[in-house]
Structure 1
Amino acid sequence: MRFVNFAIVKFSFFLVLGILTAHYFPIPFLILTPLVVVLSLVFVFWLLARQQLIQQVYLGIAAYLCFFAIGIFSYQIRLPEFQPNHFSKIILDNSPKILQIKITQTLKPDRFNHKYFAEVNAINGIATSGKVLINIAKDSLLKPLVPDNVILTYTTVSEISKPQNPHQFDYSNYMKLQGVYGQLRISSNEILKVSKDSKTIFGIAQNLRAEIIRKLERSKLEPDERAIIQALVLGEKKDIDKNLYEAYAAAGAVHILAVSGLHVGILYIILGFLFKPVKRLKYGIVLHSILIVLLLWCFAVLSGLSPSVTRAVTMFSFFAYANLLNRRTNSTNTLFLSLLTLLIINPLWLFQVGFQLSYLAVFFIVWLLPIFKGIGHSKYWLVRKTGPIVGVTICAQIGVLPLSLYYFHQFPGLFLFTNIVLLPFLTILMCGGILIVLLAVFNSLPNWLSEIYNRMIEGLNTFINWVALQDEFLFEEIHFSALKVIAAYLLIIAIALAVKNLNYQRLIVSLVAVSLILTVFIYDEFSTSTNHLIVFHKSRKTLISHKNGKKLTVYKDDLNLRYDKTYPIKSFKTAVNISHYSEEKLPKIFRYNQKNILILDSLGVFPKQSNIHAVILTGSPKVNLVRLIDSLNPKQIIADGSNYRSYIKRWENTCKLKKLPFAYTAEQGAFLIE
């Protein structure tokens, strides 16, 4: 770790701490004043420190507080409440309004809708700002929109729905971390006008990418092979078949489908080789660096400026700048300098999974790779060539493993084998992909080259599918909580420090870290061993689960279907650490925690029985709810997603008249019975 500038590392740490503070503990009052005060203190201490040979500690404290405040400020100014013209402040009711919106990004469509991100320029003629998600129903009469299109529509801005079942992916929160705070659902007849606005660099890049894809579609490339080229070279993954993508994930090779630092590094080497003759010119070294950095940023914009690509290009830009100044640099300095720069520009990137995994992978490669430096030393050619790949792959996997388990709950056991086979050929695939894209742009792609590349990608996909079929090496549904992530990283850091330089203090720290992770695992086992009964929400189906410690029993209305691998049961049982799972037929009366729960199906027949705590209405029963309430005197009425919506309002009104609590899972989410 020679030449490490620890000030950059500390500044980055306090900036991240400020962003996290603003995210989890939002400050409701004006934050500009304390920031100005802190910056003023930094300036005063800097003036004083210039006159002193020995620097005072107060300057360092003030500087750290400054970056902490910048983190808070840069995050909170992006919240709607701190933006005076945000569209959410104009929309005070659910009535339709005339909206002028500008398309900024095309998203992957679903079966029924085209999807876009858009900026809200005006509402009822009032200038506004803010991003929304647009769902436009597919219509053969309406051409798909492109970035920089401006549409005028008369519709309602609605909230993005929260998850309706526990431990499900929160799409609403995910969109907020993209800066998106509302959505539109539009049909073609609600679009009053479509026009073109002034072009933006991002719009030009997306339209260029779309045009390249259209030209690739006219080539002899097969759909699956073309989708891989689009992912490798253009960063466009939406055309990849779902099953193929899952195969790459199971094989531990999904990172090659997302344009990242690995791809940027390969492109950097290619460009460095191609522009090597430029160095012979006067000021050739400067021109060489400028050309490479400029083309790398063009590639980043063309591929959509994903966090991992932006991180990599920023790092290489700093490397190039240091080389121009003929200054020694360090990968750790450059890594944290890029982190500091990008988070000041957009603090929301901190919460994107790709951003987190990208930085962790690079940091652990830089930090841990010296431990594995002896792997490639051998008299055998194959060992010398594969040794560095093994070292880099292991370091990266160590760095991302805890976070990957937390987000994806699976571990590909053959990741090392997959990367040893794939990484040497990735350069060939990228070079071939870039060549094919360039030839396709100029309508000069020969069929024989398409056939060769088809065979190469087909061979790659065959290998990936074979690896993915080795089920015994794919470990799925791994429960890994946030506490386990923290404890795991502390353990990794403690062990790495001990391996680098073993002494008494580091040995004690390692033992404490081992004790901590064991404590976390014990606590996790205890905290997930609770008991409860949940009425899940699932459209047109009834699902009720009984959790008893680490055992989960799901009661269902259809014995022909299994739910352990599908929504919403799969993610739920992983999140609550279930080890024993079973499914049974839905009973008529369920007894839980000394409470009788009646499940009323479509027949609407209920027993003449008292002491009913709750009634669960399923399958739209034709029942006189007033008579049922008078007869059974329940404490709660619950309706799940298997009921007609037309029945719900009537039942809700009846419960209001009877002053009885009524819950509908489609509106209130899954219902928990204590």
Structure 2
Amino acid sequence: MKFINFAVVKFSACIVMGILAAHFFPTTTISAYLVLPLLFGVLILWFYNRKQLIETTYFGIAAYLCFFAIGYCNYQIRLPHFQAEHFSHILNANDDFKIIQLKITEVLKPDTYNTKYFSTVNAIQGEAATGKILLQISKDSSNTSFSVDDILLVYGAISKIPEPLNPHQFDYSEYMKSLSVYGQIKISEKEIVHTTTGRKTLFGIAQNFRSTIVSKLQKTELQSNERAIIQALVLGEKKDIDTDLYNAYAAAGAVHILAVSGLHVGILYLVLAFLLKPFLQIKYGAFLHALVIVLLLWGFALLSGLSPSVTRAVTMFSFFAVAKLLNRETNSINTLFLSFLTLLLINPLWLFQVGFQLSFLAVFFIVWLQPLFYKVGFSKYTVVRKIWGIITVTLCAQIGVLPLSLYYFHQFPGLFLLTNIVVLPLLTVLMCGGILIVILAALQMLPHWLAQAYNAVIESLNNFITWVSVQDEFLFKSIHFSEVKVLGAYILIIAVALFFKKMKYRKLMVSLLAFAVFITIYIFEEYRTSNNQLVVFQKNKQTLIGYKNGKKLIVYKSDTISSSSEIYPIKSFKTAVNSTAYSEELLPKVFQYKRKTILVLDSLAVFPTHKKVHTIILTHSPKVNLNRLIDSLQPKQIIADGSNYFTYVTRWEKSCKLKKLPFCHTAKQGAFPID
């Protein structure tokens, strides 16, 4: 049966289109008035069609519209605009500090200066409120750590999460919105008025249980790096992984094993299915077999803190277990999309999370393409079949996630196949051994020899990953891949896959057409990114001016001792504009761009007095009489970058306002492109 005939796939597509429509074209009024008539219409048409041999077209159209409307409304009701008590309705831009009651919902990885938590707002100045915020507590002022379900009474002000100040940078505010976080609060310990323990929640119990296990693991003989890996593998706890080690896993193409996801749950599912086979020999054994597996999977999810990734994976494999119980194992695509549909109904915001997208794409392409790949290299030798099975699974998953990975991460690990051939067989041992070690550590019964043995295995794995990651010639970085290229790549992959599944002339023509479309997109992107640009970047205490001429990017800076090509904000900008040549030069005092004279005024405050300029860029806080400078040079606009003192900038802004002259401060308004 072709997967496109499955109704659940079509309904999932309608849900997705409804969510995307609500995301890109939101309305100010809820559309429930549309859903109810559609549901009523579908019900009437179902009663009419249930005795018909062939269903009418109207029934199908109404059903699809109904699911589209459900997706649209389900997304809309989660926006602050449709939540009457959301904190954004109570606060306004001029609000001073207020007494705010918060409840901790998740402990995050701290940064250099702050401990971080997700928390919900319970009340503001005694008035009931809702909404999720990012809570940051200064490390210098507090050594106290808080747990999930703790309630804090704080004195502070909720502010918006700032948007990126440079072009093509990671938008942290949009990422937070995908987690339903629409504000942040920064406080010190002295601004915490009172703390107490709130009513326990299932998520809180899971998080606190995981924290208890982590603290007991820290008392074992496991080394820090090895302990961090076992915490990631079994508990979904990645906070303690060293940054260099995490980057090594990413460069080696093995970062997926550090996040509890479908891969880990799938391994656990297969192990449990094998160990519980004796259940199948008794009466109602198939039911007990599926029930115990599902319960143990959810127990594992609870053990790993009920993180979104593991919750998604366990939900998906729970559907697989139920499908197998009903003898529907051949309908894997249908089962996969049923879990996909269910999860989007639970939380439509998951659709915009990278982990959600990559996990479902990987599983979809494995289920869809792996049987085709497996037939090609089938062997009568068991060892060869096992190795070929690992290779085909890895290739199918990589094909499925490659376009999206290039779009999000702009790099491709060339040795991913070697890494996975070594890691995947070992992962089953690591998972089973890790669960055993966690249980024994929690019971304080972990023997010395087992801890040492497991530590040696993880250390060997880390050494192998580190060796792979330093093979720089096989790591392709800074790959430009836009949204249009992603779409074109998936059209090409699907067209070619359909052709190889059943070779027909028409499918060959479709594949060639898809290839032509992708080449056209590639040529168009090359043309689109070949334009010239001049940008004054925002970077605190530094001056960076980027000049893009075709494919070449020149960065002007005060010194060229250290390279800026791989640091913020140049790295992502260089990739986004598809620059293939890069250089750095000393910042000129005066230069021309599109027949416009641009003056860069630094701390020496030396400027020509005999000619007019179009733009003045103020850097490193020059001590200059700006009014006299404006009268002398008659500029059209003035820009102050992030290297200037704020007191100077405030004074300059007032002068420009009096002169009715456009003024831009990059620290407030972001990077400034000069046209």
Short-chain TM bin: over 0.9
Q: Within the alignment, does 1:343 sit opposite 2:312 as a pair?
A: no
In the alignment, does 2:207 pair up with 1:209? no
Task: Report deviation, 1:643.
Answer: 0.6
C-alpha RMSD of the superposition:
1.5
Flag the 1:328–1:397 CA change in 2: closer, same or farther, 3 A: closer
Residues 341-374 of structure 1 show CA distances to partners (whole Å, capped at 9, x for unaligned) of 0001100000011110111111111111122123
Structure 2 counterpart SS, 1:210 = helix
> In 1, Cα distance between the equivalents of 2:537 and 2:259?
34
Q: Secondary structure at the match of 1:583?
A: strand
Q: Does 1:102 find its partner at 2:106?
A: no
- SS in structure 2 opposite 1:53? coil
Find the counterpart in structure 2 of residue 241 from structure 1.
242
Deviation at 1:606, TM superposition (A): 1.6
1:372 paired to 2:373: yes
The whole-number CA distance in structure 2 between the counterparts of 1:303 and 1:181 is: 26
Judge conservation of contact 2:320–2:329 (CA < 8 Å) in 1.
no
Give the distance between the partners of 1:375 and 1:305, measured in 2 at CA. Answer: 39
Deviations 1:269-328 (A, max 9, x none): 233344444555654433332222112112223324444423321222122223444556
Q: For residues 635-654 of structure 1, what are the structure 2 equivalents within 5 Å?
A: 635-654=636-655
Distance 1:644 1:140, change over 3 A: closer
| 2:487 corresponds to | 486
* Corresponding residue number in structure 1 for 2:589: 588
| Cα separation, 1, equivalents of 2:134 and 2:641 | 28
For residue 504 of structure 1, report the CA deviation from its aligned partner: 1.8
Query: Matched residues in 2 for 1:407 and 1:453: separation?
Result: 34
1:455 partner letter? A
* Cα shift at 1:10: 0.3
In the other structure, the counterpart of 2:36 is 36
Residue number in structure 2 paired with 1:421: 422
Residues 434 and 257 (structure 1 numbering): CA distance in 2 closer, same or farther, change over 3 Å? same
Query: C-alpha deviations, 1:173-201, integer Å up to 9, x for none?
Result: 10011100000001000000010010000
Deviations 1:614-647 (A, max 9, x none): 1111011111111111111111111000011121
1:608, distance to aligned residue in structure 2 (A): 1.1
Asked if 1:85 is matched to 2:85, the reply is yes
- Indicate the SS of the match to 1:374: helix
| Partner in structure 1 of residue 402 of structure 2 | 401
Match of 1:61 in 2: 61
In the alignment, residue 191 of structure 1 is paired with which amino acid?
I
Summarize the Cα distance change of 1:501–1:281 in structure 2 as closer, same or farther, 3 Å threshold: closer
* Counterpart contact for 1:98–1:154, Cα < 8 Å: yes
Distance in 2, matches of 1:257 and 1:188, equals 33
Worse overlay, 134-143 or 323-332: 323-332
Tell me if structure 1 keeps the 8 A contact 2:104–2:119: yes
Which moved further from structure 2: 540-549 or 29-38?
29-38
CA drift of 1:141 comes to: 4.8
Q: Give the 3-state SS of the residue equivalent to 2:8 in structure 1.
A: helix
Equivalent-residue separation in structure 2 for 1:610 and 1:86 (angstroms):
56
Q: Structure 2: how far apart are the matches of 1:164 and 1:508?
A: 46
Alignment partners' CA distance in 1, 2:416 and 2:309: 20
Q: Over residues 188-217 of structure 1, what are the superposed CA-to-partner deviations in whole Å (9 max), with x where a residue is unaligned?
A: 000000100100000111111111111111
Residue 97 of structure 1 deviates from its aligned partner by 1.0
Work out the CA distance in 1 between the residues paired with 2:283 and 2:361.
Answer: 40
> In the aligned structure 2, how far is the partner of 1:230 from the partner of 1:299?
13
Instruction: Give the 3-state SS of the residue equivalent to 2:567 in structure 1.
Output: coil
Asked whether the equivalents of residues 5 and 333 of structure 1 are also in contact (C-alpha less than 8 Å), the reply is no
Structure 1: stretches of 5+ with no match in the other structure: none
Aligned letter for 1:63?
A
Cα offset for 1:229? 0.2
Instruction: Indicate yes or no: 2:665 matched with 1:664.
Output: yes
In 1, Cα distance between the equivalents of 2:540 and 2:142? 31
User: Which residue matches 1:121?
Assistant: 122
> Deviation string for 1:573-603 (max 9, x for gaps)?
1000001111000011121111111101111
| 351-360 vs 39-48, greater mean Cα deviation | 39-48
Q: Structure 2 vs 1, CA of residues 405 and 326 (structure 1 numbering), >3 Å: closer, same or farther? A: closer
- Whether the 8 Å contact between 2:101 and 2:123 is mirrored in structure 1 is yes
Shift of 1:383: 2.1
Cα distance in 2 between the residues matched to 1:111 and 1:322 = 47
Distance 2:114 2:30 in 1: 41
Segment drifting more, 42-51 vs 297-306: 297-306
Equivalent residues in 2 for 1:591-606, closer than 5 Å: 591-606=592-607
1:155-183 deviations in Å (ceiling 9; x for gaps):
10000000000000000010011100000
Give the count of matched residue pairs. 674
The 8 Å contact of residues 94 and 158 in structure 1, kept in 2 or not, is answered as no
- 1:142, CA displacement in angstroms? 4.0
Aligned partner of 1:11 in structure 2 is: 11
Other-structure match for 2:527: 526
Matched residue type, 1:9: V
Query: Does structure 2 conserve the Cα–Cα contact (< 8 Å) formed by 1:498 and 1:507?
Result: yes
